[in-house]
Structures are given as C-alpha cells and as structure tokens.
Amino acid sequence: MSEDSVLSPRNAWFRRAVGVTAGIFVATALGGFVLLPYAQPDLKVAGLWDAICSAAGVVRTPSAQAPAEPDARLTKVVVTSALPATPAPDAIGRGATLAQQCAICHGPTGVSRADSPNLAGQYAAAIYKQLMDFKTGARVNAVMTPFAKDLSERDMQDLASYYAFLPRLPGYHPVQEKPAPRIVINGAPMRGIAPCGSCHGALDNKTGSPWLEGQPAAYVKAQLFAFASGERRNDISQQMRNIARRMTPEEIQLASEWYASQPSTTIHTN
C-alpha cells in the first residue's frame, strides 16, 4: 500500500485516526476550559464565554478596563527586608508620642473602634510604606493625607517602630469564627490568584505587605474593592490590583469576614 493511499481520506483507518484525534482535542478543550471552571464552587461565571475566559486567565471584570493613567502618582517606596532600618533606642518612645495624634481613629493601644485598620503589632515596613505613600500622594485619604504631609522621614520610621513594638490584641470587630475560605488558603490558580495568606501573614509574609488577621471586615472589603476599581493604586507592580480584579464579590466578602474573625493575639515585635 502506497503512502498516498494510507493518508488518503478514502482510507477508513485514516479517517478513524483523524476522528479520534479530533475527538480527544475537543474533549480536552471542553474539560479544561468549560467543565473545570464550572466545577469550582467558589467561581461564578455568567456563561460559556465567561468560563473560557476564566480558564484562560483573561481578566473579565469591567474594572480591568480602567488602568492607571500615565500621570497617576505611584508608590516610590523601594521595599527591602531592611525597611525601615533598625530603630534608634529612642525611636519607640518618640513614636509613642507621635501616635497620640493617631489614637482617635486607630485607638490608644493601636486597636481601632472605628473600622480603621488596627496598627498594634503591624509590620513596621507596611506602616512606613503606607505613611510614605500618603505623604507623596500615591495613596489618597481625606484624613491620612493631610496628616502624613507634615511627617518627616524620622517621624514615619518612629511611628512604624512604635506600632510594630505593640502586641497584637483582639480587635473590636469580632465576627463569629468562620472556616477559612479557599481564596485565603488555596487562592484560585486557574485565575492567577495566589493565596491571600502567602503574603499577608497566615501562611507567610511578603515584606511590605500588611498583617490582615483581626482587621475590620469593612476596612479589608473596602480596600479590595478600591484596588479592583483602580481607585487605590499604591501597590507595587499592580500586584493587588491584578488580584482584586480577578476576585468575585463573594470571595472579597468571604476573605474580609474571615480575616475579621481571627483574634490576632500573636505578639510581634520589631
């Protein structure tokens, strides 16, 4: 039998081989791009095309169409393991004096009663970065921006050192203990979402990322939506914006409530 006849459409075996190969390809595509997305209980898809985009890692939310404008102020802080530097002996005491101005929102012991972030035991690098971003305009807030504009470099480092020195205490926003959602522990690999805990304390900490356990649910939720919409853009390399845009509203709600339900009694010192 000649080679031409073997590869001829008139050859029944050739037609069957092509049909089987095409069938395997179609079944694999359906399984990977349609069935698996629908099989995820924490993923809401609006239709077939939405499921295919989700599996392919394509951002589908409207907020993804609002990138930062070229003239937007972005963070200028270079985060390293030495940020901020080891405090001078009087840094914590001087930071405690400066922190009296912060007590009305963040509490006299660094624990908020007003849905503001709890700062007691927070990583010094995270506090310093946010203060610097408020000062430079990379992050804007009606209360924090005017306050941070008058802070010197030493003021910001001393405040960061003081709050990092305080023990973490239970928050004033206890939520009934909830099971850890998948988005916190496992993330959503098919949508390019790393576990929240890999950066924010539950599993590991990435330098410059805040500790989230025990933070008010309203605050965490508001910040995730701000990142998703592009209203907040002081994350380095758009890491949080890219993640928040891919999270569903249900995942944002679950993550916020879970973090608020954690007691955060771990003591952390600078």
For the residues of 36-79, what is the DSSP string, one character each?
HHHH-TT---SSHHHHHHHHTT---SGGGG-PPPTT--------
Residue found under tokens 């380095």: 236
Look up the pTM and report it: 0.72
Question: 4-8, 10-14, 206-210: which range is least confident on average?
Answer: 4-8
When pLDDT is averaged across residues 111-122 and rounded to a whole number, the result is 93
Q: Write down the pLDDT at residue 255.
A: 95
d(CA 208, CA 89): 23
Burial of 7 (C-beta count, 10 Å sphere; 0-12/13-18/19+): exposed
In this prediction, residue 29 has a pLDDT band, given cuts at 50, 70 and 90, of confident
Q: Write down the pLDDT at residue 219.
A: 97
When pLDDT is averaged across residues 90-115 and rounded to a whole number, the result is 94
Sign of the alpha-carbon torsion through 252, 257, 259, 260: positive
When pLDDT is averaged across residues 80-90 and rounded to a whole number, the result is 73
Task: Kindly state the tokens that stand for 200.
Answer: 């924010």
Domain with CATH 1.10.760.10 in the chain: 91-261
In this prediction, residue 68 has a pLDDT band, given cuts at 50, 70 and 90, of very low
Q: Write down the pLDDT at residue 76.
A: 80
DSSP symbol at 181? P
Which fold is adopted by the domain 91-261? Cytochrome Bc1 Complex; Chain D, domain 2 (1.10.760)
Task: Kindly state the tokens that stand for 53.
Answer: 């985009």
Contact 238, 149 (CB under 8 A): no
Statement: residue 205 has pLDDT above 90: no
In this prediction, residue 13 has a pLDDT band, given cuts at 50, 70 and 90, of confident
